[in-house]
Structure 1
Amino acid sequence: MREHKPDKSEISIVDIAEALNVSAATVSRALNDNPRISEATRKRVKDKAEELGYRHNSMASSLRNKRSNIIGMIVPRISMYFHAIFITALQNRLQEEGYSLMVCQSNDSESIEQKLAATLYSSRVDALVVSLALYTEDYKHFDGFTKQGIPLIFYDRVPTKTYAAHIIKGDDYRGGLLAGNHLIETGCSKIAYISGPLSCSIYKERTEGFQHALDKAKIKLERKWCFYQELTAENAWNSLRQIFVGKERPDGIFASNDTTALAAVEFAREQGIKIPDELKIVGYSNDPRASIISPPITTIDQHPVEMANRVAQKLLNLLKDKSLRAINDTREIVPVTLVRRMTT
């Protein structure tokens, strides 16, 4: 019998069936390791599928089964330490349960975030996990998920307004409070503050906690020493140059991420400012770089693995039991801890 060689670009199970002179149903069962098909036939079918370049159409399969076993995810930037650790832990946990994680990054752009939400919705993901972009304050691009009862979980950077979604976040208010109290307890009375934009939930809450600590100690937060910006190394250096321009200088800095705290240590070294004698620094996130720089930086640990495990468990519960999907802005808070090192 002359072997059938399809000339079209996409190979189907029908093409494999014709090449082997078996039914399409047999091919389908063999490709899915159905025990009704002998091991020899399964191997024969899979070998022919590989030879012909067959690709399984998971989209078509999900349409038939009404599930894709894919969890969509939108993160601000994959390169950020917290999110890199979180993604790895979440993926590992979901893979144990047979789910794949489709990770997309918004690059902190609300417009990209909106397009990604639409793409993942069209891709029929079984659920969506999101950490919002810096300036996202309108969440209607996620409405399709909530209206269709598709599990939606916000983590870390979450809506600042009431929104019907499951939320699992760090205790950022307490993180700011811990940082402020620690600087005060170590003798600081003139404290500078470099934060992210207050449109973002984590920086809004860290600021509230930090301000509470200062208010309680009756310490004024000088406006000229406060910056609310994207927390890049370049922005940090620009802020530090402005903070240390005059004769009056702070004796403490709370940086809302470790990238900024690292810049502060390098800046102090360049300027001949002694740490911690003349300047104390607290960062946020417990980035590994904070522990290896000299001196190592006091920081707030967000426990990304614990947060990922909580998100994974919530997802699995929602996917297994549809009755749990009724949502009314439920919130779960992951504790944070102060890690004291040599900058304080």
Structure 2
Amino acid sequence: MFWICGFYIMTPRKPKSENSIVDIAKALGISPATVSRALNNNLRISEATRKRVKEMAKEMGYRHNSMASSLRNRRSNTIGLIVPRISMYFHAFFITSLQRQLQAAGYNLMICQSNDSVKLEKELANSLYSARVDALVVSLTLYTEDFTHFEGFLKQGIPLVFYDRVPPEGTPAYIIKGDDYRGGLLAGNHLIAAGCRRIAYISGPPSSSIYRERTRGFQDALAKQGTALREEWVHQHELTTENAWNSLRRLFDGEEVPDGLFAANDTTAIAAVEFARERGIRIPEDLRIIGYSNDPRTSIITPSITSIEQYPNEMADKVAETLLGALQHTTGVPIEIGTPVVCPVDLVRRMTT
């Protein structure tokens, strides 16, 4: 430490070298091999010695070098996960369930967030590959159409699982997705059965697999009942609250307005309820609304919102089962590479319909 112009300047201290297994062995007068075995709970080492070694390791501030160990064993016991946004209800529940199952099996989960940026998704995939994760789980961004940044995993035989937002069928990876086509079909059939004929649709970008499938199912349901979607009543964009309000204003500022709305996520459906309240639109008398994901908020808002349940815990179960089967080379891998497994969805009816 010294003075310059009346200020204390702290000179950085040289990092203190960490104690190693050799240092612990010297302190106890035993061999480094014995220390290593004791720290790894080898039963060939007596319980008393194991206790002495662990106490000395703690006293000396020893830290196990898991990276070096993983390089020796060619296993990191770490699985990478790339999600669009951790804040989204579906992914938050999925992560919680998947992490619990993987930890119980001895694996750590390294969670990364792409923020729906293709550039960031590429960087994260490369970083996780360099970190030598044992497997990678991915839900794609809204705009991912090139999948070459995952090729390193495929070439090295590292298990790669796509879930929810997935690449096209035939991609040489494990693919686990929700039945988004049926979700759209259920929404369309329900609105028609409820008496709606002037139906609007607010969806996400068609570059994403989930919104393409929801749209296809919704259109098929209406077409079978002789009701076509008006082009001017279909809005496709990122499903934020702000975008939802902008679309709702355009939908309800004309002379003829919708009497039914399918929102391809619950954030948009909640915005529609708030918009209707502000405009004096009665729900469900004047407007019926269906959302998607069965976010817990849909059950506590007034009126409560009809939504499509995606069962994130069940999808996490299927992903965990697939991962562990692939990593442990068991016969328990439930799916074939390139052939999607489709998880069920259901309509949960509430007061908006």
CA distance in 1, matches of 2:301, 2:114: 30
1:18 Cα deviation (Å)? 2.4
Structure 1 residues 31 and 331, CA gap change in structure 2 (3 angstroms)? same
Q: Would you say 1:115 and 2:123 are equivalent positions?
A: yes
1:8 CA drift (Å): 3.8
What do residues 50-74 of structure 1 show as CA deviations (whole Å, max 9, x unaligned)?
Answer: 2222221111111111212111111
**Alpha-carbon distance in 1 for matches of 2:335, 2:216:** 31
Query: In the alignment, does 2:277 pair up with 1:269?
Result: yes
Task: Judge conservation of contact 2:174–2:335 (CA < 8 Å) in 1.
Answer: no
Q: 2:43 aligns with which of 35, 43, 49?
A: 35
Correspondence for 1:193: 201
Q: How does 1:85-100 map to 2 (within 5 A)?
A: 85-100=93-108
- Contact 1:151/1:325 (8 A) holds in 2: no
State how far apart, in whole Å, the 1-side matches of 2:334 and 2:185 are.
33
- In the other structure, the counterpart of 2:211 is 203
Matched, 1:151 2:138: no
Distance in 2 (alpha carbons) for counterparts of 1:51 and 1:259: 52
CA contact (8 A) 1:89 1:305 kept: yes
Does residue 134 of structure 2 align to residue 130 of structure 1? no
What secondary structure, in the 3-state scheme, does the structure 2 residue paired with 1:254 have?
strand
- CA RMSD, aligned part only? 1.8
Q: Please say which of residues 290-299 and 321-330 is displaced more in the overlay.
A: 321-330
Give a deviation string over 1:118-157, Cα, whole Å, max 9, x none: 1111111111111001111111111111111111110000
Contact 1:149–1:325 (CA<8 Å) still a contact in 2? no
Identity %: 68
* 9-18 or 97-106: bigger deviation: 9-18
Q: Distance in 1 between matches of 2:40 and 2:317?
A: 30
Distance 1:240 1:326, change over 3 A: closer
2:181 — aligned with what?
Answer: 173
Q: Which deviations, in whole Å up to 9, do the C-alpha atoms of 1:233-269 show, x marking residues without a partner? A: 1111111111111121000110000000000000001
Structure 1 range deviating more: 206-215 or 154-163: 154-163
- The answer to whether the 8 A contact 1:108-1:133 is kept is yes
Q: Read off the aligned partner of 1:155 and give its amino acid letter.
A: Y
1:282 is matched with 290
Q: What is residue 14 of structure 1 aligned with on the other side?
A: 22
Does structure 1 retain, via aligned residues, the 8 Å contact 2:322–2:335?
no
Q: Structure 2: give runs of 5+ residues left out of the alignment.
A: 1-14
Match of 1:333 among 319, 325, 342: 342
SS where residue 73 of structure 1 aligns?
Answer: strand
Match of 1:4 in 2: none
- Give the match for residue 220 of structure 2: 212
Q: Who is 1:260 aligned against?
A: 268
SS at structure 1 position matched to 2:67: helix
In structure 2, relative to structure 1, the CA distance for the partners of 1:22 and 1:8 (3 Å cut) is farther
Whole-angstrom CA distance in 1 between matches of 2:202 and 2:19: 57
Give the paired residue count.
Answer: 339
| Preserved CA contact (<8 Å) 1:318 1:325 | no
1:164–1:327 CA contact under 8 A, matched in 2: no
- SS of the aligned residue for 1:178 comes to helix
Contact 1:132/1:157, CA 8 A, preserved across alignment: yes
Are residue 66 (structure 1) and residue 71 (structure 2) matched?
A: no
Residue type of the partner of 1:338?
A: L
* C-alpha distance 239-56 of structure 1, shift in aligned 2 (>3 A): same
Residues 321, 334 of structure 2: 8 Å contact kept: no
Comparing 306-315 with 35-44, which one deviates more in the overlay? 35-44
1:221 to 229, 242, 247: 229
Corresponding residue number in structure 2 for 1:3: none
* Structure 1, unpaired ranges of 5+: 1-6
Given the two structures, how large is their TM-score scaled by the length of structure 2? 0.92
Deviation (angstroms), 1:328: 4.4
- Report the counterpart of residue 352 of structure 2 in structure 1: 343
Instruction: Give how far 1:310 is off.
Output: 0.8
- For residue 310 of structure 1, what is the amino acid of its counterpart? K
